[in-house]
Amino acid sequence: MSNSEFDYIVVGAGSAGCVVANRLSADGQTRVLLLEAGPSHNSVILKMPAALGLPLESTRFNWGFKSEPEPGLNGNRSDQHRGRVLGGSSSINGMVFVRGNPLDFDSWAEASLPNWSYSHCLPYFKKMETFEGGADKFRGGTGPLHVHKCKADNPLYQAFLGAGQDYGLRLNADQNGERQEGVNVAQASTYKGERWSTARGYLDSARERNNLVVKSGAFVTGLVFSGKTAVGVKYEINGVEQVAHVTREVILSAGAFGSPQLLLLAGIGDQKELKGLGIDVRHHLPGVGKGLQDHVAVAIQYSTPKQGVSPTRELSPLGRLFVGARWLATHGGLGGSNYFEVGAFFRGNDNVEYTNLQHEFFPMVGEFYRGKARITPGFQYFTSVMRPASRGSVTLASKDPKAAPVIRLNFLTAPGDLEQLREGLRKTREMIAQRSWDELRGEEISPGKHIQSDAELEQWIRNNAGTGYHACATCRMGVDEMSVVDQDGRVYGVENLRVVDASVFPALTTGNTNAPTIMLAEKLSDHILGKMAAPMNVSAFREAVAPSVQKLDMPAGMPH
């Protein structure tokens, strides 16, 4: 083969693309080209977990998208941080590792996608990880992605865990194991005090393969077709356009915004919209870019009367120097924390089939990571709706491939979403009122105790809610007319073109979406190679997700 001809071309070296490039090139023979618009992932601010906010401050590692004004959020816009670097968003995210609820995947299977039940997905969740707690029926022990159980030894974390139990939630020893529901010590994709992105886990070990070519700084400008068959990719490096040809498939792993954008630019999408932009229609596929889903979230903030429990002093300008120096020397201390060390999954009411709300907890108030950091001692509970009914879209601003996509999230525009979030806030207040918070709970800063009625809470939510950064479902797997790909990720209506990333999720998962995206990439890599792991027997699982708010016997040393 020539230097411009490959068996597979993977567009986007993110959470999914690094996995696909590794697995497809593993035989040492199949020639794979991996294209990434951003730079290398070797920067110290990407490796240090506590520096997680710094990459979001510039476009060096971040696409820096913004949503359009949100009608359900009183016209506010949401930042849409997306990794523009090897490892993609796994190189700039909060590193919180959540698989999702097994019933999420069973619902995918029930929607005419039989190969995506939890039984089918579990082998790939196990394959992808090395869990610090060791391998068992549900967890993996030899995979490329390291998963670390956080220490959660700060008194604020301990109060969170205790208050959840006071309220009636079970203490869950492993929210990514047999059951998800309850209050938990969080798990993070870190290893020995460093971020462990897919670039670290999957790409670094494969870079020496002669059959894998990785090009960073390569901005993909379009797909090359012969009729309805994908035959290559056009891209630019330092302003010079190049073309790579493919003998088998082009695989889009450009994410929930990038993959639909590339399909639309190639003339694959709603024909009316394409014609309006002067783009020749290659195939009418109306679902491209439609059905965007994301978790809507809002934070309750409290002060704390106890000095020294919030790590605000360590994050002063001088403090950050000491934190950074200690981390460089030992990879320990605050620099090795992603701050989100505890969390919870719970039900807003007894009528939901399974957990519909998530807590992510932060042991400070404010935006600690910005240069003008406005931080004060305290804590905040981020409350998110797990299965929102609202749907958004990703469309083109123009046929210029370098123009940012038009992102409409449409948060809180569908019936029920606002009510779930309001219900979650009331329950969050109940948890914070529990005795475990008595010594550490100060005043409610936001929304403030004067905000009580449904109408007052609604207005506050619409003014303050935002994104969970979990966009998905813009190239949805399925069998209806709005589906974009089949259950193998193959784009309907064209040949040799596949999508492998969170855009093909049929629906949001319960919790952060990075881990299920990596699982999906592992699984679809096997589909591409014509093999599939045997489904695992999890028949007892449904008994484990029955509603449960009773307390368990607590392990020694845990609050009660």
Phi then psi for residue 424, to 5 deg, are -65, -40
Contact 364, 381 (CB under 8 A): no
The catalytic position among 148, 295, 359, 470 is: 470
CA distance 375 to 339: 14
How far lies 138's CA from each of 179, 519, 549, 559, in Å? 10, 14, 23, 26
End-to-end CA distance of the chain: 65
Exposure string (b/e) for 494-508, b if CB count within 10 Å is 16 or more?
A: bebbbbbbbbbbbbb
**DSSP annotation string for 130-197:** EETT---SS--BS-SEEEEE----SHHHHHHHHHHHHHT--EES-TTTT---EEEE-EESEETTEE--
CB within 8 A of 10, min separation 6: which ones? Answer: 17, 20, 21, 24, 32, 33, 34, 35, 251, 253
Residues counted in the chain: 560
Strand-pairing partners, residue 384, are: 297, 358
Residue 123 preceded by cis peptide, ω within 30: no
450 among known catalytic residues: no
Q: Helix or strand or coil: residue 68?
A: coil
Closest CA relative to residue 198, chosen from 217, 177, 214, 220: 214
Give me the active site residues, please: 470
